[in-house]
Structure 1
């Protein structure tokens, strides 16, 4: 059964959900897990790709955009549509809706910052997951 973790970034958090995504991806990778980042807006996907190269000088997170890297050898993939379908460990959802393919993952991470549109969409996703009887965890992230 899929576990869904919501990460709510408090107003004191320095940065946005894309900054936090980089930190979370780095932490997940230390556990040896593969990550698929669902980022359906191609401009945001490219921005996250660049940010993963620069978010911390001493960090190296092997990653790439689906279709531009060898998915088999790249442990962090950024995808607009859930491809490749063989990924099933950790999904980081940066979309405003629940992806249709979320249930194939062991764990889903939903990142919520203080932007009004993001907060509203996050509350709607929480309610939807709850109606589906999905195991939910909530984490408040401060500065």
Structure 2
């Protein structure tokens, strides 16, 4: 059963969610975990891809889109089935991944945008009804 955490940001800026996703992906990769970042749409994945190339001047984070290399250390995808098991899922979509059981850890990144807050609160309840014990982490 995966460990589930909701990382809560104090801002409403979408770019802050992407920066947090980059930082968490780097941390997961450095810890030896396969990382899957589940984006909302292709435009967000493109923005995230570009941000991963430049967000940390002193570090390279090997990543690729699921369609190009599903075995990359950090995979960017939508509702694609991850190639690796027991890794880290960073979920940027407003709903729960259909492949939840493929991961050892799940991080939902929440900001203060009202629609996202509502969706994430519902996800928190859904995780609980499914028997998980989600935790809240303030950033």
- How many residues were matched structurally? 138
Pairs within 5 Å for 1:116-135: 116-135=114-133
Write out the 4+ residue segments of structure 1 that deviate beyond 4 Å after TM superposition.
Answer: none
Q: Distance in 2 between matches of 1:87 and 1:44?
A: 24
Question: What is the TM-score with the length of structure 2 in the denominator?
Answer: 0.91
Contact 1:93 1:111 in 2 (8 A): yes
User: CA-atom RMSD, angstroms?
Assistant: 1.8
Q: Distance in 2 between matches of 1:66 and 1:103?
A: 18
Pairs within 5 Å for 1:86-97: 86-97=84-95
Q: Does 1:48 align with 2:48?
A: yes
Q: Distance in 2 between matches of 1:22 and 1:113?
A: 15
Question: What is the TM-score with the length of structure 1 in the denominator?
Answer: 0.88
Pairs within 5 Å for 1:61-100: 61-68=61-68, 70-72=69-71, 74-100=72-98
Contact 2:12 2:112 in 1 (8 A): no
